Amino acid sequence: MRVLYTLAMYLVTPLMLLRLLARGLRSRPYRRRWPERFGFFAHPGLHGSLWVHAVSVGEVNAAVPLIRELAQAYPHAPMVVTTVTPTGSARVHQLFGDSVFHVYLPYDLPFAVERFLRQVRPRLALIVETEIWPNLYFACHERGIPLMIVNARLSRRSLRGYRPLRALARSALGCVTVIAAQSRSDAARYRLLGADPRQIIVTGNMKFDMPIPDNAVAVGAAMRAQWGSERPVWIAASTHEGEELAVLEAHRQIMREFPDALLLLAPRHPERFRLIEHLARVQGFTSATRSAQGTPAAQHQVFVIDAMGQLMPYFSCADVAFIGGSLVRIGGHNVLEPAALSTPVLVGPYTFNFQEITLTLIQHHGAVRVADADQLAAQVLKLLRDPQQQRRMGAAAHSVFERERGAVPRVMHLVDLLLQE
């Protein structure tokens, strides 16, 4: 199976390069640093590094408290952080600058993986969430590098996707020392995939331990004062293609009752920023962008947040937050950021990426699920009409967030045990 898998990887490599090229036509960063995808990069001179792999922005954000704890507990160990996407890379540089060594994780080709491991020479490998790369896992095992999957999650959809390669996935998971699962459901699905139950420990979701910027509330309050403290404001965050039209239609309905309502619209991918600002104008809204105007004025009806990693102050100052990737089959994005700031949360029907967190928020009345633009408009209007309900729902969301914290110390305990061994 491993030989067939490796052969397939070599055969699809030209297609992966074509995909990079196609994405590069829309987003310039995808055109750069291709050698890193094959393990070619300047030798960093590292030895005994602690290596954390986080595929993209969401995983990087989840790993932030763990990376900081590792740096504090092991100050003399070089820190390596790998990603797959340019947005993940940009987030690493934004958060950590030169304090970590960042490089793209190479494709799962034996020669690329071997070159990567020779360059960074890790003492411990920490894979965030759901990244099972057989050749990488086998190479770590053969080199005696302890491997942990931290914040491990495995959705039903992902489990079905691994079904044709279940035997290979089981062998790859045999190379893993510890699987630190987000929940009992994730642990059960890893067992179904073939992981040894003795490997699996439920540690909770590290995203509950994410740091809240000290100035998020203050900056949000200052923005709200500038816009007008009585002005209704809602945010649609991390939206994808197919969602913005629904969000703008919902905003049109909201403005019939609240003509001065302001929509903060944050597309998920940078290459779509200009397109969405243009879409808002074409739909007849007076719009502005963070990069051009800085802040919305009284006449602006839609404000496009065309920046990465800047949402927390906007969540703080919004009356209601809709989390994107959930009206389309993306699976939803992080509902915890608004919850951490006591902002009521709305989601669409597709939240399998954050299934248990979302269900917990809904069960504790911190979030509401909507099916389409009409229901989205109705729920936003319901909350805008009732500030007391806003506060109750926001408080319930924040209570869930606070109660679930503590995964990072549990993961760090496992890390300490492995490093002592």
pLDDT in tens, 311-332: 999 999 999 999 999 999 999 9
Domain boundaries, the chain: 2-8+27-204+406-420, 216-403
Is there a catalytic annotation at residue 271?
Answer: no
pLDDT band, residue 229 (cuts 50/70/90): confident
Structure tokens, 133 = 């790369």
**The pLDDT value given to residue 413:** 97
pLDDT band, residue 130 (cuts 50/70/90): confident
Mean pLDDT in residue range 84-107: 95
pLDDT of 116 strictly over 90: yes
Out of 36, 59, 244, 277, the active site residue is: 59
Q: Which residues 6+ apart lie within 8 Å of 314 measured at CB?
A: 220, 223, 235, 237, 264, 266, 305
pLDDT of 29 strictly over 90: no
Q: Compute and round to an integer the Cα radius of gyration of the chain.
A: 22
pLDDT band, residue 399 (cuts 50/70/90): very high
pLDDT of 352 strictly over 80: yes
In CATH, the number for domain 2-8+27-204+406-420 is 3.40.50.11720
Phi–psi pair at 102, nearest 5 degrees: -110, 140
More confident residue, 68 or 228: 68
Q: What CATH class is the domain 216-403?
A: alpha beta
pLDDT of 131 strictly over 80: yes
What share of the chain in percent tops pLDDT 70? 100
Degrees to nearest 5, angle at CA 404 with 330 and 65: 75
